[in-house]
Amino acid sequence: MTDETRGGRLHLDKLTKAFPGRAGAPVVAVDTVTLDVAPGEFITLLGPSGCGKTTTLRIVAGLEEASSGHVRLDGEAIDGLPPQRRPMAMVFQNYALFPHLSVGENIAYGLRTQRRAKDETDTALQIALTSMNLVGLENRAPHELSGGQQQRVALARALVVQPKVLLFDEPLSNLDAKLRGAMRAEIRRIQRRLGITSLYVTHDQDEAMTMSDRVVVMNRGRIEQAATPADIYFRPATVFVADFIGRANFVEVVPERMDAGGAVVTALGRTMTVAARLDVQVNAAAYLMLRPEALSLRPAPENGTGSVLRTAFHGHSVDYEVETASGTLLVTVPGPDPQGLLAEGTNVTVGIDPGRAYVLTKS
């Protein structure tokens, strides 16, 4: 495990995986997935249960055989290679440590199966122990370690063989929230330093958004959008992505015209120009996506646009559910003034920040 380690270019070419269904019709778990992962890039597959993210990862690892399509690494098809012959390593959700081996023996296992020289193995093991803050624990059994320490052992075992691609199958889901946050930062730091191409599967949005170069949102076996975390959040490609990532309000609008700044729409009594997807059309039904923090509230004894239904105080912010003519909207006010909290039943005017809104096609 050295600083010179570099990842490979991974390409998924129209991967499809179908399983036999109960009524004879096949169940398509992965549907023509195409994705190019640059050397050293950290990609996260994110989506609801059953969306195909884990099956895709297992096809890349060689643990599942695709019904059609190809997995290519540095331009070469590796579909016919068994898992142990692919220059990849995988970190599992349950750590998958050998209980009868010590920490050091677990980390060095891959090197020894590759018949590396003893001095090379010993040197690599010491580097791995130091890098993962495991020095002094090499003779312990896995059951004598905390969950976080076991996860570091699993990561060290994967990294020590210097794979071209590192695969993660929900590796932090068994850890508590505080330790999970620390391990996210640790994994990302090491991955960046070593430049290993990484494919990470999770159902945790925070993990995906904080760790990834790009997030791939999947739904029903297909890729809905592959983009940077910021684009996924602020410029979602579909209503599904907008609704799945974070929290969002959707106000029905009909774009009146298009100009250089986007679509001109009217919502909550205000006409404004808002950034829009390229497929948005004039006089066609669309949604104005409004994140809760893109809205503001002020009391309006008369001629307000809504009424506060419920209030949820979080300390650092307060959430308001507001009933309006366009439906119930969720509004988040950061750093609330203790003297300015709005009571339930308060009539309010809802303000919109056009620069933080986005128009999507309704379909």
Q: What is the per-residue pLDDT for 113?
A: 80
SS3 262: strand
Residue 5 lies in a domain: no
165 plus 275 within the same structural domain: no
Q: Are residues 126 and 218 in the same domain?
A: yes
Q: Which of 180, 213, 234 is the last residue of a domain?
A: 234
Residues 230 and 323 grouped into a single domain: no
281 and 338 share a domain?
Answer: yes
Q: Are residues 173 and 91 in the same domain?
A: yes
The residues, ordered by sequence, that sit 6+ positions from 213 with a Cβ below 8 Å of its Cβ are 41, 42, 43, 228
- Calculate ∠ Cα 208-212-214, nearest 5°: 100
Last residue of a domain, one of 213, 234, 255: 234
Classify residue 287: in a domain, yes or no. yes
269 in any annotated domain:
yes
Same domain for 344 and 228: no
Model pLDDT, residue 314:
92
End-to-end CA gap in the chain: 48
Average pLDDT per 10 consecutive residues for the chain, totaling 363 residues:
66 95 85 96 95 96 95 94 91 85 88 81 84 86 88 86 91 80 85 91 93 97 97 96 96 93 92 94 96 95 90 94 96 89 94 96 84
Is residue 29, in this structure, part of any structural domain at all? yes
Q: What span, in angstroms and rounded, lies between the C-alpha atoms of 220 and 237?
A: 16
Residue 2 is assigned to a structural domain of this protein: no
The answer to whether residues 286 and 177 belong to one domain is: no
The tokens for 261 are 């700044």
Per-residue pLDDT at 169: 92
What are the beta bridge partners of residue 333?
Answer: 318
Domain at 86, CATH number: 3.40.50.300
**Helix (H, G, I), strand (E, B), or coil: what is residue 47?**
coil
Concatenated DSSP letters of 327-345: EEEEEEEES--GGGPPPTT
The closest of 220, 162, 294, 235 to 30, measured between CA atoms, is: 220
Q: Are residues 98 and 213 in the same domain?
A: yes
For residue 338, being part of any structural domain is answered with yes
pLDDT at 299: 93
Find the domain containing 279 and state its range.
247-361
- Would you state the pLDDT for residue 151? 84
237, 243, 262, 266: which is closest to 254 by C-alpha?
A: 266
Give the chain's domain count: 2
Q: What is the pLDDT of residue 270?
A: 93
- Looking at the structure, do residues 118 and 141 belong to the same domain, yes or no? yes
The 317-324 sheet, strands edge to edge: 295-299, 347-352, 306-313, 317-324, 327-334
For 144, residues 6+ apart whose C-beta sits below 8 A from its C-beta are none
Q: Are residues 220 and 262 in the same domain?
A: no
For residue 319, the cross-strand partners are 312, 332
Domain boundary at 234, 265, 283, which? 234
